[in-house]
Structure 1
Amino acid sequence: MPKCNLIIDSCCDLPPQVVDREGIYLLKFPYILDGQTFEDDLFQSVSAPEFYDAMRKGAEPSTSQISMPVIIDAFNAAVDSGIPTVYLAFTSGMSGSYDVAMLVYEQVRAAHPDFELYVVDTRLASVAEGLFVYEAVNQREKGLSAAELASWAEEARCFINEEFMVEDLEALRRGGRIPGSVAVAGSALDVKPLLNIDADGKLALVGVARGRKKGIKQLAEYFQKNAADNGPSRYVAIGHADCPKDAQRLKDALLKVDENIMFLECNIGPVIGSHVGPGMLAVVFWGRDKRENLSVADRIARRVKGGN
């Protein structure tokens, strides 16, 4: 039997059946579409085609962070359960929800000093967060304690590698995730931008592709270059924002690299989808240590602060 429970959030973009199990509590990010507020329930109430068709027709959904009362309720429920709990939070590099969670965490610890509660900044988002959460669930079911799972997560998050292609940068610009000048340049060049999530959990533009076909090829090449042979699983997560045919093309390209891959296919959820738009395509896998890309100054700064 698992020794701990997990709190996760909907920005992991996992299929609902993967996380719908006892001992896993899902925090749902809110989003606003056509003036109405919804909860991101992993496309159980609104389908992916419905959501992205609305964007194609001109809808501009917006998002907000998880509110403090929602996090308070989740943490109090954990305390009431009496079972040690770990919250794997959406990256602090793209949302203030982690900071809110830490404020609530301090309140809970003050009121219940003997209760084991851990909050981990995954520094990951969307399908990258999803593959990480997927393995965390496996580690929990192998019998890790809450303390062991939190320690595992602090290190393992650095080995999730991801790259994703978006149709254009307009949605990211509108949401304030990238500078307007970058979006304008991308549109002027008529290219498909390639992005990843850096070691600090922030978006980074890492390349461009001349068309989606070449973009899919570059995603497969990124996997071939960076995948690890000794990761915790052979699963590769494929995420797409209502472009299943391209997702299949990416799978076919990856199988030419490694025929033993097992796939975890995910829909890009409405919260992430609000910022990337329809057509996003992602590949995520266990690979190299992201911290290898940090500068010497960054490494020294982290050591001084006691980080990793």
Structure 2
Amino acid sequence: MNFEIITDSSANLPESIIDQYGLHILSLEFYIDDQVYLSYQKDEVTDLSQFYAKMRDGKMVTTSLARLEDTDLIIRKLFEQGKDVLYLGFDSTLSGTFERCSTYMQNLQTDEYPQRTLRCVDTLAAALGQGMLVVEACKMREAGHTLDEVAEWAECDRLTFAQWFTVDDLSYLQRGGRLSKGAAFAGTLLNIKPVLHVDEEGRLVPVEKVRGRKKSLHALFDRFSECASEPKSQQTVYISHGDCREDADYLAGLIKDGFGTTDFLINNLEPVIGAHSGPGTIALFFRTDKAR
């Protein structure tokens, strides 16, 4: 490999892919009852079913950015090994992690390792939307592309990764300031399920409201039908879920039956994003020829 790739725990990638591509992960943090936890620790598995069970029981979860001491440990080690680095970071509109960590890396590289090359790209993506872009970057590296080529591709093509979400519990959007208390209350009474997407500026934007869980899953399928690149059957479709694997499988089944798509990566949503979207979140990611 002619360069190393760093990303964040928010990319939601399983350990098998992290190991396959030799990725370096900056972990964000979350807090339950004033106890701090890392969203990702190598070779340690977070019990996500237990995490979401605590949320369903009313436990308040708060989150924080990746730590600079961890950033320093990873980037300094790679520079000391003579490695150049590409950092593919969490959507800067949704989190301050990219700005914080990229600024630190750039200052370190300029001040102490000027002979090394560092490129930092804001993916404008979250969860497996970020992960999907990271995997494609890894494949390009394996195919022999240079650091600059992969970084420029990521900056140019990041908006071709479509990101669509629905949530089951409106209270989490209300807590995050994305929904008023009155709207959350009324929506809950009427069984309203919002459909949201990440737009071209990395903002989480509500697009549609439907009544009932199944209709919200079908709404995500409709977005795939309308927006996914052709041939749809050859897409690798990524689905993140907040401890609701059956619903993720149901959505995958709709896509498989509708278009013959067979390649899916389905993963439980990691705690930091899950803390803000709540149990029952379903997020769908795919390639598109249309701008977000």
Q: Matches of residues 1-16 of structure 1 in structure 2 within 5 Å?
A: 2-16=1-15
Please name the residue that 1:105 is paired with: 105
Contact 1:101 1:119 in 2 (8 A): no
**Residue of structure 1 in register with 2:153 after alignment:** 152
Task: Please name the residue that 2:37 is paired with.
Answer: 38
Which residue of 2 is the match for residue 216 of structure 1?
A: 217
Distance in 2, matches of 1:8 and 1:33, equals 24
How big is the shift at 1:16? 1.5
Aligned-pair RMSD on alpha carbons? 2.0
Partner of 1:228: 229
**Is contact 1:186-1:193 (8 Å) kept?**
no
Question: Any conservation in 2 of the 1:168–1:193 contact (CA below 8 Å)?
Answer: no
Q: Is the 8 A contact 1:236 1:263 kept in 2?
A: yes
C-alpha contact (below 8 Å) 2:87/2:102 kept by paired residues: no
Which stretch shifts more, 21-30 or 49-58?
Answer: 21-30
SS at match of 2:83: coil
Instruction: Show CA shifts across 1:211-260 (max 9, x none).
Output: 111111111111010001269x6200011111111111111111122103
Q: What do the CA deviations read for 1:49-95 (whole angstroms, capped 9, x no partner)?
A: 11111111111111011122222222212211212110000010011
Residue in 2 that maps onto 1:259: 260
Asked whether 1:245 is paired with 2:246, we answer: yes
Deviation, 1:208, is 1.5
TM-score by length of 1: 0.88
SS at match of 1:273: helix
> What is the CA deviation profile of residues 14-47 of structure 1, one whole-angstrom value per residue up to 9, with x for unaligned ones?
1111112464211111000122100012794322
Using the alignment, how far apart are the partners of 1:172 and 1:32 within structure 2?
18
Structure 2 match to 1:19: 18
Structure 2: tracts of 5 or more residues without a match: none
The offset of 1:177, in angstroms, is 4.7
1:188, distance to aligned residue in structure 2 (A): 4.8
Letter in 2 for 1:119: C
Counterpart contact for 1:243–1:278, Cα < 8 Å: yes
C-alpha separation between the residues in 2 aligned to 1:212 and 1:22?
36
Cα offset, 1:138, TM superposition:
1.4
Q: How far apart, in 2, do the equivalents of 1:144 and 1:178 lie?
A: 43
- Percent of counterpart pairs with the same letter? 32
Within 2, Cα distance between the matches of 1:208 and 1:22?
39
Count residues in correspondence: 289
Partner of 1:53: 53
Distance 1:289 1:86 in 2: 26
Q: Deviations over 1:169-217 (max 9, x none)?
A: 2113223455556534533543011111111111111112211111111
Q: Which moved more, 1:177-186 or 1:143-152?
A: 177-186
Q: Secondary structure at the match of 2:107?
A: helix
